[in-house]
């Protein structure tokens, strides 16, 4: 089991997966981040059998989104830059484990993209729900990520679908998969493991 902490969330990956916090890689931070005027990165890379998962985490449970860039545009750029970074890491990463995981990710037969999106269950003026998952999904499926993953997943913690390679807990409550949001876990047509 591999545990990766991102903010207040702990992502647990089973032993059949190789998961790593890609945006903390020394290769990304020290060698690739400043390439071409600045590169972005997804939070987690996970290699599961013949699938490479690119996982971006956005937790607006306690703090609202402040960035001006559209979240679909932000995710698409992070995915694109991560793919370029993995191609470079496979040949040029100084750390052998990062170089090897990049090679394994590039050798799989499929890319999957997950936006793990936490938002308040009951929006209010003080804590609105700024992001409509259905709108983001439409943008990702039609233009932004179609060539990489025609069926990206937008989900939260209630509960994580079985075909996604992690489970989730919050260290503050220490309750695995405790629901924090009432919006759908994944959008229609994406809640089954078909094609995963």
> Which tens digits make up the pLDDT trace of 78-120?
999 999 999 999 999 999 999 999 999 999 999 999 999 988 7
Question: In this structure, what DSSP letter does residue 100 have?
Answer: H
CA–CA separation, 36 vs 152, rounded Å?
27
Bridge partners for 13 per DSSP: 2
**pTM summary value:** 0.83
Q: Name the residue among 121, 8, 31 with its Cα closest to residue 84.
A: 31
Adjacent-strand bridge partners of 163: none
Burial 80-99 (b: 16+ CB within 10 A, else e): bbbbebbebbbeebeeeebb
Q: How large a percentage of the chain has pLDDT more than 90?
A: 61
Q: Name the average pLDDT for the chain.
A: 84
The pLDDT value recorded for residue 66 is 72
Q: What is the 3-state secondary structure (H, E, C) of 5-43?
A: EECCEEEEECCCEEEECHHHCHHHHHHHCCHHHCCCCCC
The per-residue pLDDT for range 17-33, each reduced to its tens digit, is 999 999 999 999 999 99
**Helix and strand totals (H; E) in the chain:** 4, 9
Q: Which helix (H) or strand (E) segment is 54 a member of?
A: strand 51-59
8 A C-beta contact, residue 42 and residue 115: no
Per the model's pLDDT, the better-predicted residue between 141 and 47 turns out to be 47
């Amino acid at each position: 089991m591999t545990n990766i902490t991102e903010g207040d969330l702990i992502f647990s990956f089973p032993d059949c997966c190789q998961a790593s916090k890609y945006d903390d890689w020394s290769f990304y931070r020290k060698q690739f981040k400043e390439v071409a005027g600045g590169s972005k990165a997804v939070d987690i890379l996970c290699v599961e059998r013949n699938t490479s998962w690119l996982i971006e985490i956005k937790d607006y449970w306690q703090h609202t989104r402040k960035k001006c860039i559209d979240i679909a545009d932000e995710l698409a750029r992070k995915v694109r830059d991560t793919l370029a970074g993995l191609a470079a890491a496979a040949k040029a990463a100084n750390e052998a484990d990062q170089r090897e995981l990049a090679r394994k990710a590039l050798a799989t037969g499929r890319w999957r993209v997950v936006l793990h999106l936490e938002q308040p269950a009951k929006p209010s003026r003080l804590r609105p729900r700024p992001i409509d998952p259905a709108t983001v999904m439409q943008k990702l499926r039609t233009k932004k990520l179609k060539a990489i993953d025609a069926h990206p997943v937008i989900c939260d913690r209630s509960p994580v679908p079985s075909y996604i390679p992690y489970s989730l807990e919050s260290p503050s409550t220490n309750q695995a998969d405790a629901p924090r949001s009432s919006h759908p876990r994944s959008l229609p047509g994406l809640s089954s493991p078909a094609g995963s």
